[in-house]
Amino acid sequence: MERTLLKKLKWLPESIEEQNIIYDSPKKGRDELEYVILKSVNLIRQNEMVHFYKLEPDRHIPKHGHDFIEVFYTCKGIVQHIIQGNIVNVKKGELLFMSQNTVHEINPVSEEDVGVYFAFVPEFFHQINAMMEIDNTVAEFIFNSLLGSDKKTSYFHFQTATNKRIHNLIENMIEIILSGKQSSMKLLQNTMLLIFLEMIESFEESYKNEMKQINGGNVMEVINYINQNYKNASLSELSKEMHISVAYLSQMIKKTQG
Amino acid sequence: MERTLLKKLKWLPESIEEQNIIYDSPKKGRDELEYVILKSVNLIRQNEMVHFYKLEPDRHIPKHGHDFIEVFYTCKGIVQHIIQGNIVNVKKGELLFMSQNTVHEINPVSEEDVGVYFAFVPEFFHQINAMMEIDNTVAEFIFNSLLGSDKKTSYFHFQTATNKRIHNLIENMIEIILSGKQSSMKLLQNTMLLIFLEMIESFEESYKNEMKQINGGNVMEVINYINQNYKNASLSELSKEMHISVAYLSQMIKKTQG
């Protein structure tokens, strides 16, 4: 990330009242199953669609849920999330999308690690979905999962560390939000649309690369695995477990779904 | 511009056969009115919409026209264009859009100056125009001028040196083209769409800033000036001459056009 933007982030206020609810939550209930659900109505201002937030160093963020879609990005260093027992290390330049009902916690980060998150009202992604105008399985699967009302956990960990174009777009998204202009919603949505188009393109590439390594046996394994588990797991987790690409996986999902 | 991208540009081949036609053109005719018209059919590959080109140092590019839309960007240093007798200095981070029938020449640049241009078939901008989906005078004026079949010269020199978001988007556009993938047209168009949205937003800002400085007398002056001259001049030239913002100017244009 560009140094001037990192500096800007350094001086950004870190928490608002609603966020303190998370920090204080363990005092209220230490039960494993008990956790706070953050509400967009408290975090995101009226008539706005997004709230932007920077991780505070040296603080553990206890298990919590949210009624919004969270997009997490690591600007510098590494940030460790725990999502339903899965450790997800989001490294510099990587993205983590979490659906409305994903419950997660975040381990403390050092002064050297910079993580930011965007809290979007679901309507924002409904609109991006409508703007896509392409018939693409990966996109369809991601949108359905993120927006799904099935109360299932869905998260997508995108290994975008080497995609400079996505970093530029995230920088732009942060700058647009920091500018604090209402008029910028169109800019913000078109930027997120481009991030999605970039992610889809990189899926398709890795799909082409890895197709050669796939044999018939693997395909059945994937289909079985997906049938049993995919609703609770992330695409990247699955693809890692199966040693195949995310795009290939999504093709399988399409086939099994009929 | 990011150092790695500048390095990539350094090793990019500089000229193709069609471009040599410009360099050789003074030999063919030294008449002031005589100049070569570059044809997109020779520069832009079939089924593609854009050709990307880097300025060669220490070479004067004689007066020439093109049947495509040229977008020029200075990555480093400064590049001097001469458009119908007007000297246009495009500084680092600034953009110059030229309509299909704009005739211009470029003075030699040093090794330290890096300028790139994109040659777009008009169809590309027709599509961007359709994607805009907003009713905006500035956008309308720019598209009409760039795509106009009136054979008039129209160029727009955007003072975008301080807009980091536009720089990021131009970097992305270069990276997308250098990746050489056919599939990337959608990425390219959405990136250009965002560049337009950014430019419109910055117009509107300067419009708001400068409205306070405008009085009734100025307005008539602008209207008269535009009525007499605007078809041959750039918006930025006009706004400079009138000491008002480009957006305000475009409002005047709308009023005079009825």
Q: What is the pLDDT of residues A15-68, one digit of tens each?
A: 556 666 666 665 554 555 677 888 887 778 777 788 888 888 888 888 888 888
CB distance B190–A197 less than 8 Å? yes
CATH number, domain containing residue B153: 2.60.120.280
- Chain B residues in contact with A4 (beta carbon < 8 A): 164
- What is the 8-class DSSP label of residue B70? E
CB distance A186–B197 less than 8 Å? yes
Asked whether B25 and B36 are in contact (CB, 8 A), the reply is yes
Domain count, chain A: 2
Same domain, yes or no, for B216 and B199? Answer: no
Same domain, yes or no, for B28 and B38? Answer: yes
H runs (alpha helix) in chain B: 3-10, 17-28, 40-43, 122-132, 137-147, 164-179, 185-211, 216-229, 235-242, 246-257
Neighbours of B135 (CB within 10 A): 7
Residue B54 has pLDDT above 60, yes or no: yes
CB distance A197–B183 less than 8 Å? no
Same domain, yes or no, for B126 and B249? Answer: no
Same domain, yes or no, for B85 and B146? Answer: yes
Asked whether A169 and B168 are in contact (CB, 8 A), the reply is yes
Q: Which two structure tokens, joined as six digits, stand for A151?
A: 């109360």
- pLDDT of B213: 39
Q: Provide the shortest C-alpha distance from residue A117 to chain B (in Å).
A: 19
Same domain, yes or no, for B153 and B217? Answer: no
CATH number, domain containing residue B216: 1.10.10
Asked whether A104 and A50 are in contact (CB, 8 A), the reply is no
Q: Residues near A47 by Cβ (< 8 Å), separated by ≥ 6?
A: A182
CB distance B190–A194 less than 8 Å? yes
Q: Which residue has the tokens 């020439």?
A: B64
**Which of A131-135, B165-169, B206-210 shows the highest mean pLDDT?**
B165-169
What CA–CA distances, in Å, run from B131 to B77, B95, B166, B181? 33, 21, 18, 22
> Domain of B16?
3-208
Same domain, yes or no, for A126 and A227? Answer: no
Same domain, yes or no, for B45 and B126? Answer: yes
Q: Which of A126-130, A187-191, B144-148 has the lowest mean pLDDT?
A: B144-148
According to DSSP, the β-strands at B61-66 and B36-38 are parallel
- What is the 8-class DSSP label of residue A78? E
CB distance A186–B2 less than 8 Å? no
Q: Which residue has the tokens 């995230």?
A: A170
Q: What are phi and psi of A174, to 5 degrees?
A: -65, -45
- pLDDT of B219: 40
Q: What is the pLDDT of residues B178-235, one digit of tens each?
A: 887 766 888 999 999 999 998 887 766 655 444 433 433 344 444 444 444 444 556 6
Same domain, yes or no, for A31 and A123? Answer: yes
Same domain, yes or no, for B203 and B179? Answer: yes
- Chain A residues in contact with B197 (beta carbon < 8 A): 186-187, 190
- Chain B residues in contact with A181 (beta carbon < 8 A): 201
Burial B39-70 (b: 16+ CB within 10 A, else e): ebeebbeeebbbbbbbbeeeeebbbbbbebbb
**Least CB–CB distance from B193: residue in A4, A172, A190:** A190
Distance CA B151, CA B159 (A): 25
CB distance B194–A198 less than 8 Å? no
Distance CA B118, CA B206 (A): 27
* Single-letter amino acid code for the residue at A133: E
Q: Residues near A45 by Cβ (< 8 Å), separated by ≥ 6?
A: A51
Final residue in a domain of this structure, among A207, A234, A249:
A207
Confidence of residue A75 (pLDDT cuts 50, 70, 90): very high
The alpha carbon torsion through B242, B246, B248, B254 (nearest 10 deg) reads 100
Residues of chain A whose beta carbon is less than 8 angstroms from a beta carbon of chain B are 2, 4, 134, 164-165, 168-169, 171-172, 175-176, 181, 183-184, 186-187, 190-191, 193-194, 197-198, 201, 204
Q: Provide the shortest C-alpha distance from residue A172 to chain B (in Å).
A: 5
Same domain, yes or no, for A152 and A233? Answer: no
Final residue in a domain of this structure, among A207, A227, A245:
A207
Same domain, yes or no, for A85 and A7? Answer: yes
Same domain, yes or no, for A69 and A136? Answer: yes
**Least CB–CB distance from B187: residue in A164, A171, A194:** A194
- What is the 8-class DSSP label of residue A45? P
